Structure 1
Amino acid sequence: MLLLGISGSLRRGSHNRRLLDAAAGHLPASVTMRVFDGLAEIPPYSEDEDAPAAVQRLRAALAGADGLLFATPEYNGSVPGQLKNALDWASRPFPDNALRGRPAVVVGASTGLFGAVWAQAELRKVLRTAGADVLDDELPIGMADVAFTPDGALADPEQAAALGRVVDRLLQHAGGRIGPAGLSRC
């Protein structure tokens, strides 16, 4: 089974990338998670343009995944523009797009107290509108600058357990089961 992780942050050292890495620690050996690393390369969406190579790469990564794990920060109470832009590209052609029917879950981390809850809600809405099969699970990681241990795990045992439950539900929804695994990049 293959999960695709997508962080909505372009920042090096992103808390949301760290959250994807922590999620990978909850995967069984039979599951691989690849993290899409080409978000910054995707140009602004335009219906007048054919999909460039970066968009084709995103669409192929989405279509090849058994499940999707999005980790998003919150910018001005919503989804980061680059992530929304990428999903606008991915949602075409509608209705037969790479997101259609794909099991997905959204988590988020931010340095504020609320852990990107508004952005998570907005992202779930966008994904559902595009046709993804989105779980209602939510995992807000607030105060993300101090939420991780030096080895990358979540410091709070309750948050770590909640992340494990979210990952488990995604795997069950996508047809898999749970335990520790590897992380690769695509």
Structure 2
Amino acid sequence: MRSFTVHTGTAVPLRRSNVDTDQIIPGEFCKRIGRTGYADALFAEWRDSPDYILAQPQYLGASVLVAGRDFGIGSSREHAVWALVDHGFRAVIAPSFSDIFRGNALGNGLLAVQAAQETVERLWDLVESAPDTPVLVDLERNAVTAGEIRFGFTIEEHLRQRLLLGLDEIGNTLRWEEEIASYEQRRPGWMPRTVPARTS
């Protein structure tokens, strides 16, 4: 998993609330094998609309998505996060997220930043009036800065450390490989055994 420390990029103002995972990536695209190659499926049902925000020239290449409340609700499909990451997003800022979406995001290197509704509206106004405004998302200091807007955010420390190190759940477990092997050696022979992890 790609680590996240400090990221600076431009932002897309997605003035929509209750965006569910089926809107993020429709179900027919979730039959593919693998965790990459989903960028073309992101918001697939919105793409033909003339006001599709991600197709607006001023937002091409943006890597921070600023969305409305309850982003990522609906089914637990991890493909929604994969599509956002494949498109180039590194962070999503919203007033609230589905718990499952937030967990999937943090487990795949996409930082989900919760901000007050008023702050999100200020960010929308800013990036609509000045789309080239850099948005700095700092996980080392738990802070976001965009123009004169600056706010802090909270994240569980164990999740923050995993993101800083670029470790998914498996990678985090493998940090303790020697301790796990030592424990297994001390277990009585009649108890169930685990197979040693392969790191190469």
Regarding TM over 0.5, the answer is no
TM-score normalised by the chain length of structure 2:
0.28
TM-score normalised by the chain length of structure 1:
0.30
- Return the index of the structure with the highest Cα Rg: 2
